[in-house]
């Protein structure tokens, strides 16, 4: 059997390697249009930033090493220009001589990846406006930085955008970032992203949020970036990181089905609309583990594991692809942000009912030095408590909590289950009641009716139909509080019941939602109508962007 | 309703706090014989070691703070001396005046914890022989260290033993450790513990393994520790950390059932043999999530969550306790070791069929600087692949992998499921194929018959019925190899098939088990009889203790 694989990075190389292990006799040809195969895509920003010193450490394999280890026929600089599905032949153009040839296949695998979006903006062809997707892109950006660039604008505050912000900042550039949405990291909900925005500000990075780029102009070799809000930024370098789109050019020309999200359509086993052509990686549109319909999820982990799945199917083992969660993580300076599953925005968009809880806690026991603050948001079904998604922002330990929650989500666990996850505890690593357990406790209290929450978004409406009461210590209240809130510190509450109205809803809050929960339990059992602010003042401030009295 | 809780640390305080939240009217009395309630047990070694500077940071609450926040009646220095179950009264002796009184209860909760084992050894009463369980113990040890102790012997190389080794070493003491078993960290399997032993040795800590202490003698205020193997150690301080036993003194006198493992017997809802008495924490013997029968699992996480469960039951909500996994972690110097579920020794002891895989991998992508080596062992059922247990040793990222595996274990996941866990990947945090995915791939290959393993313990028998072939690069082979192994580097294998016997089993190995798997796939499909060494030479050396040619 002869297998031709188009694309030799994550999905393509995983397909080839796994297929060789399953079938020593198969003829396996990998056609890669770029100069490199199997390079570390996710490392590109860090060679620019200098964290990864050696360029060669990103180049994990060569055609020679793949021939020697896996007996693969890997051809770089070979671009497929057409697919003759009836004849089962691909047309190839080989660089550098431009020679063309036809390569027959028994089975074809499409792993062309995704292309960075380049909106048709005025002046986008300016030499200082660059994207980052492959080694050549990296080299071009690095050359500008090495050449003395002092100011950079990063357009797009998604995961790759923020990695570029950090890397350019690490090289001493003054960096500004522009994002169309009114928050950084659109995969997160805005109140979670706010912690990242605060951190960027502390690092001296200006974020222009809720505005778009209208065009680029030359300024003696530098580039002027015009924003819709009228701001003009000038930089030696502008990085376009506004997203990627599946590379479906070949698939479309060949008449293969493309899905509504714009990715190559695949069935449960990653086969395209042609039974002899499979597809994997960033170019496809496939099932989600948490969301109805097919989605494009351009992530390295799924791409690698999809390649493996395609190989299993090619080897005659019917192996469905289970779908993606969309688990992703980014580090920017000293802050990490990660998410898995659905966020609140997407749940609302899809019309899915949900509840939510927030945890603000140290990433390990507070009595051991070095605990870093962790902000966690968990979304779950209102009836069963089944997990729908989670987001975490903080320093150390963000990745661990999201990985635990991604595993729990995959297993179909609920917030009730989270309560009793037995996670490893020593004071350097966690707490006897880990933040994940805490999310479970709060979620279970909420579903059991022990906790009646109110949310940051209920303000200022909450002021109208009730009173807001701050139960934090006096100093905290005096430093900042929700506008209009009265102050009754928790330890005085039992003695000051007379000050509280019996006929109005009492909207309690504290710093993170624990003391106000205690207060709520005290008052509820005495007949008061009470709610406790989810996530406390920490979430309130994040939600409202620091609007406090 | 009046609830009396005996013991005010992890389980006791969790019971009291949760119960107050559920029942504002209940009268809740906590009787703690020690001087402190709610102290950070797991932090004690680190105040001695100086990592935690302020002693007060270990004392999380006082009776006054608990009165103010939770309206609890907490009495420290109050020891319960007897339980009159018929009369529903406990007898209390109050320090310091020795006054005794009777305290009636409607429901009683036993949370007396566990006591450090003090074997009846000759000279054990020597003033320099100390245990560590509470704040007073900590103060006594710290006083000796502050007083100029130069040499310490830690007896017992379990989790607390190793924490004390690190902490005393951090204070500049020369530390030796003695362990009855022939390995450190008995909760781990010996080949996994070996990585920890190597690290201790590098840090200048001598481990006396497979020998016991026969007695202590005075040496002008210092202590001489006699070992069964004839060695005599001299130290200014000897820490006994040979384990703990449930404190069942009161329960026994009161005629409550005690289980075969020596802990207080409880039913599914943590009720003792008396329907008005519950028990939680280190003193009980309860169900395991992974093992038949009841077990003592003296761990802080379960103790806290058991307290919560007891409170739910006391408040009239029938809430079963789900059982423990035994998840635990320890850090010693720069190495971490953690485990969850069953280990291989306990599976063998219980006669449970299992398979195992090893992964040796960086804790994050190798191309990003700072990847630390992670050693992972996963045990699972031979039929379904259902997880049974896991162990990890390494630097960063050990806690994360064990937490993910503990979650997967709780969910009843299999190695097939591990393959497709979608964990957060950016190069600072993991790999596109995380070590946990790798364990899934290897386990699935093994159960699917794609990988036929052999194990370190099959040596030297493997030499008799076959040949051993090393497929690593030449330099690795020359540096060290399995005695008797031939050398055929993987890239040459396809060309040197003629050198291999068609009639004998070929026992392949490489460094970690990946290249030998590739070699196996090449040879198996050509009709050779082949096996691939699980975990490769890294596991082989750990298993055999460095026995190499």
Structure confidence at residue B479 (pLDDT): 96
pLDDT of residue A96: 78
Of B423, B267, B447, B265, residue with least CA distance to B353: B447
A301: nearest CB among B331, B425, B427: B425
Q: Which helix (H) or strand (E) holds B92?
A: strand B89-94
Q: What is the pLDDT of residues B43-58, one digit of tens each?
A: 999 999 999 999 999 9
Matching residue, tokens 């790798």:
B438
| Radius of gyration (C-alpha) of chain B in whole angstroms | 26
First to last CA, chain B: 72
Q: Which residues of B touch A412 (CB under 8 A)?
A: 411
Report yes or no: B128 and B221 within 8 Å, Cβ to Cβ. yes
Query: Which two three-digit tokens encode residue B27?
Result: 């009268």
* Cα distances (angstroms) measured from residue A85 to each of A89, A263, A472, B69: 7, 19, 69, 74
Half-sphere exposure of B437 (CA within 13 A, CB side): 19
Place of tokens 């989810």: A534
- Neighbour-count burial of A139, counting CB atoms closer than 10 A to its CB (0-12 exposed, 13-18 middle, 19+ buried): middle
What chain B residue is nearest to A490 in terms of C-alpha separation? Answer: B69
Q: Indicate if the pLDDT at residue A549 is higher than 60.
A: no
**Cβ(A514)–Cβ(B70) below 8 Å:** no
The angle, 0 to 180 degrees and rounded to 10, between the axes of the packed helices A10-22 and A63-70 is: 20
Ramachandran class of A57: left when φ > 0, alpha when ψ lies in -120 to 50, beta otherwise: alpha
| pLDDT for residue A545 is more than 90 | no
State the smallest CA–CA distance between residue A509 and chain B in angstroms.
15
What is the Cα–Cα distance from A25 to A19, expressed in whole angstroms? 10
Sign of CA dihedral A12, A13, A16, A22: negative
Query: What is the arithmetic mean of pLDDT over B262-272?
Result: 97
Q: C-alpha dihedral over A252, A256, A258, A259, to 10 degrees?
A: 180
Asked whether the beta carbons of residue B331 and residue A68 sit closer than 8 angstroms, the reply is no
The answer to whether the CB of B275 falls within 8 A of the CB of B258 is no
Q: What pLDDT score was predicted for residue B546?
A: 59
pTM of the model: 0.97
pLDDT of B39 reads 86
Q: Which residues pair with A319 in a beta bridge?
A: none
B499 token code pair: 């050198």
Q: Check whether A548 has a pLDDT greater than 60.
A: no
Express each pLDDT in A398-410 by its tens digit: 999 999 999 999 9
**B64-103 per-residue burial string, b: 16 or more CB within 10 A, e: under 16:** ebbeebbbbbbbbebbbeebebeebbbebbbeeeeeeeeb
Give the integer Cα–Cα distance in Å for A69 and B327.
Answer: 39
Asked if A85 and A107 touch (Cβ cutoff 8 Å), the reply is: no
Taking an 8 Å cut-off on Cβ atoms, the answer to whether B404 and A402 are in contact is no
Query: What is the structure's pLDDT at A546?
Result: 59
CA distance, residue A83 to nearest chain B CA (Å): 30
A331 to B365: CB separation less than 8 angstroms, yes or no: no
* Dihedral in degrees, nearest 10, Cα atoms A481, A487, A491, A495: -170
* d(C-alpha B140, C-alpha B133), whole Å: 11
Interface confidence (ipTM) of the complex:
0.96
Q: Which of B407, B441, B526 sits opposite A421 (nearest CB)?
A: B407
Q: What is the DSSP letter of A524?
A: H
Task: Check: CB of residue A450 under 8 Å from CB of residue A428.
Answer: no
pLDDT in tens, B324-334: 999 999 999 99
A494·B71 Cβ contact <8 A = yes
Q: What is the pLDDT of residues B296-330, one digit of tens each?
A: 999 999 999 999 999 999 999 999 999 999 999 99
Angstrom CA distances, A55 to A214, A359, A428, B188, stand at 34, 40, 35, 40
Please tell me the distance from the alpha carbon of residue A259 to that of residue A272, in angstroms, as a whole number.
Answer: 11
**Half-sphere CA count of A88, side-chain side, radius 13 A:** 13
Chain B residues closer than 8 Å to A42 by CB: 365, 425-427, 432
Give the single-character DSSP code of B349.
Answer: H
| Rounded CA separation B310/B11 (Å) | 9
Closest CA to B432 of A155, A282, A410, A103: A282
Cβ contact, residue pair B305, A494, below 8 Å: no
> Nearest residue of B to residue A471 by CA position?
B69
Mutation test of the interface with chain A: which of B403, B452, B520, choosing the one with the most A Cβ atoms within 10 A?
B403
Q: Indicate the pairing of strand B328-332 with strand B335-341.
A: antiparallel
Question: How far does B324 lie from chain A, in Å, by closest CA?
Answer: 7
Q: What is the pLDDT of residue A547?
A: 45
Mean pLDDT of A334-350: 97
Query: Do the beta carbons of residue B301 and residue B352 sit within 8 Å?
Result: no
A489 confidence band (pLDDT: 50, 70, 90) = very high
Looking at beta carbons, which residues of chain B come within 8 Å of A411?
407-408, 411-413, 417
Residue B458 CB: number of other CB atoms within 10 A?
A: 16
**For residue B519, which residues of chain A lie inside 8 Å, CB to CB?**
none
Length of chain B: 549
3-state helix/strand/coil string of A70-122: HCCEEEECEEEEEEECCCCEEEEEECCCCEEEEEECCEEEECCCEEECCCCCE
Alpha-carbon distance of A211 to A155, in angstroms, equals 10
Phi/psi for B240 (5° steps) reads -90, 115
Statement: residue B400 has pLDDT above 70: yes
Query: How far out from the chain centre does Cα A329 lie?
Result: 5
Phi, psi of B297 (to 5 degrees): -130, 80
Known active-site residue B42: yes
Largest CA distance in chain B: 90
Smallest Cβ–Cβ distance between A367 and the set B58, B366, B420 belongs to B58
Kindly identify which residue of chain B lies nearest to residue A328, measuring between CA atoms.
B424
Q: Which residues of B touch A450 (CB under 8 A)?
A: 21-22
At residue B506, the 3 state secondary structure works out as strand
What's chain A's Rg over C-alpha atoms?
26
C-alpha distances in angstroms, B175 versus B52, B111, B149, B163, B526?
A: 20, 34, 11, 12, 55
- Residue B547 pLDDT greater than 50, yes or no: no
Of these residues, A42, A271, A296, A510, which one is catalytic?
Answer: A42
What's the pLDDT at B323? 95
Nearest-angstrom CA–CA distance, B487 and B503? 19
Contact assessment for residue B11 and residue B303, using Cβ atoms and an 8 Å cutoff: yes
Q: In angstroms, what separates the C-alpha of B372 from chain A's closest C-alpha?
A: 16
pLDDT digit string (tens) for B401-426? Answer: 999 999 999 999 999 999 999 999 99
Distance CA B400, CA A399 (A): 8
* pLDDT tens readout for residues A238-285: 999 999 999 999 999 999 999 999 999 999 999 999 999 999 999 999
Which residue in the set A21, A302, A421 is minimally distant from B410, CB to CB?
A: A421
The pair of structure tokens assigned to B328 is 């635990």
Mean pLDDT lowest for which of A458-462, B74-78, B528-532?
A458-462
Q: Is A175 exposed, middle or buried (0-12, 13-18, 19+ CB in 10 A)?
A: buried
pLDDT at B535 over 80: yes
Q: Which residues pair with B340 in a beta bridge?
A: B390
| Cα end-to-end span (Å), chain A | 72
Cα separation, A391 vs A328, in Å, equals 10
Which pLDDT value is given to residue A462? 85
CB contact under 8 A, B304 and A432: yes
Domains, in order of start, for chain A: 2-113+245-314 (3.50.50.60), 129-242 (3.50.50.60), 334-448 (3.50.50.60), 453-544 (3.40.250.10)
What is d(CA B544, CA B548) in angstroms, rounded to the nearest whole number?
8
Under DSSP, is residue A392 helix (H, G, I), strand (E, B) or coil? strand
Average pLDDT over residues B523-546: 94
* B549 pLDDT more than 60: no
CA distance A345 to B51: 43
Query: Closest residue of A to B495, CA-based?
Result: A68
Tell if the CB–CB gap between B422 and A325 is shorter than 8 Å.
yes
Q: Which of A71, A364, A432 to mutate to test the interface with B (most CBs of B within 10 A)?
A: A432
Contacts of A52 in chain B (CB under 8 A): 367-369
Smallest CA–CA separation between B286 and chain A, in Å?
A: 15
What is the rounded CA–CA span in Å between residue A321 and residue A307?
A: 10
Q: Which residues of B touch A113 (CB under 8 A)?
A: none
Using the structure block, give the residue that is written with the tokens 């609309």.
A273
Planar angle of CA A327, A330, A333, nearest 5 degrees: 160
Instruction: Among B57, B324, B399, select the one facing A400 at the smallest CB separation.
Output: B399
DSSP A346-384: HHHHHT---EEEEEEEESS-TTSTT--EEEEEEEE-TTT
Instruction: Compute the distance between CA of residue A282 and CA of residue A275 in angstroms, rounded to an integer.
Output: 20
CB atoms within 10 A of CB B445: 22
Q: Could you tell me if B395 and B373 are in contact, meaning their C-beta atoms sit under 8 angstroms apart? A: yes
Residue A432: list chain B partners with CB under 8 A: 10, 42, 300-301, 303-304
Please indicate whether, in this complex, the C-beta atoms of B24 and A521 are within 8 angstroms of each other: yes
Q: What is the pLDDT of residue B60?
A: 85
Model pLDDT for residues A40-76, shown as the tens digit of each residue:
889 999 999 999 999 999 988 999 999 999 999 999 9
């Amino acid at each position: 059997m002869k297998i031709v694989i188009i694309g030799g990075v994550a999905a393509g190389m995983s397909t080839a390697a796994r297929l060789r292990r399953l079938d020593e006799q198969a003829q396996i040809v990998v056609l890669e249009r770029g100069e490199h195969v199997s390079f570390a895509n996710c490392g590109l920003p860090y060679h620019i930033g200098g964290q990864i010193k050696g360029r060669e450490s990103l180049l994990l394999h060569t055609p020679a090493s793949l021939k020697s280890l896996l007996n693969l026929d890997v051809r770089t600089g070979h671009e497929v220009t057409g697919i003759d599905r009836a004849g089962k032949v691909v047309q190839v153009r080989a660089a550098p001589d431009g020679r063309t040839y036809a390569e027959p296949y028994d089975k074809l695998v499409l792993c062309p990846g995704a292309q960075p979006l380049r909106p048709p903006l005025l002046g986008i062809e300016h030499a200082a406006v660059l994207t980052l997707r492959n080694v050549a892109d990296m080299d071009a950006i690095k050359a500008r930085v090495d050449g003395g660039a002092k100011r950079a604008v990063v357009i797009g505050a998604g995961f790759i955008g923020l990695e570029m912000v950090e890397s350019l900042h690490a090289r001493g550039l003054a960096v500004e970032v522009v994002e169309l949405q009114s928050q950084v990291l659109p995969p997160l909900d805005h109140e979670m992203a706010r912690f990242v925005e605060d951190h960027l500000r502390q690092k001296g990075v200006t974020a222009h949020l809720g505005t778009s780029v209208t065009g680029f102009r030359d300024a003696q070799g530098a580039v002027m970036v015009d924003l819709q809000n009228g701001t003009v930024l000038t930089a030696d370098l502008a990085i376009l990181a506004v997203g990627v789109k599946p590379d479906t050019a070949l698939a479309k020309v060949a008449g293969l089905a493309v899905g509504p999200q714009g990715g190559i359509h695949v069935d449960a086993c990653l086969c395209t609309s042609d039974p002899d052509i499979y597809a994997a990686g960033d170019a496809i549109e496939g099932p989600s583990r948490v969301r109805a319909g097919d989605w494009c999820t351009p992530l390295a982990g799924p791409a690698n594991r999809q390649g493996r799945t395609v190989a299993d199917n090619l080897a005659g083992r019917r192996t469905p692809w289970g779908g993606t969660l969309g688990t992703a993580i980014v580090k920017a300076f000293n802050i990490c942000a990660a998410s898995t599953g659905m966020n609140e925005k997407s749940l609302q968009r899809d019309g899915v009912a949900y509840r939510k809880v927030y945890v603000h806690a140290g990433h390990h026991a507070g009595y051991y030095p070095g605990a870093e603050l962790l902000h966690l948001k968990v979304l779950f079904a209102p009836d069963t408590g089944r997990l729908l998604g989670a987001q975490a922002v903080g320093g150390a330990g963000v990745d661990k909590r999201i990985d635990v929650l991604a595993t729990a989500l995959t297993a179909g666990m609920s917030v009730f289950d989270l309560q009793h996850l037995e996670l490893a505890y020593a004071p350097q690593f966690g707490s006897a009641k880990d933040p994940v357990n805490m999310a479970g406790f709060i979620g279970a209290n909420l579903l059991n009716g022990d906790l009646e929450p109110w949310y940051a978004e209920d303000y200022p409406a909450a002021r109208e139909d009730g009173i807001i009461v701050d139960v934090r210590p006096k100093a905290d209240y005096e430093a900042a509080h929700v506008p209009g809130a009265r102050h009754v510190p928790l330890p005085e509450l039992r003695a000051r019941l007379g000050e509280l109205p019996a006929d109005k809803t009492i909207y309690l809050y504290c710093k993170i939602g624990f003391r106000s929960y205690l207060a709520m339990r005290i008052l509820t059992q005495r007949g008061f109508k009470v709610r406790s602010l989810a996530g406390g003042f920490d979430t309130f401030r994040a939600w409202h962007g620091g609007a406090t009295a």
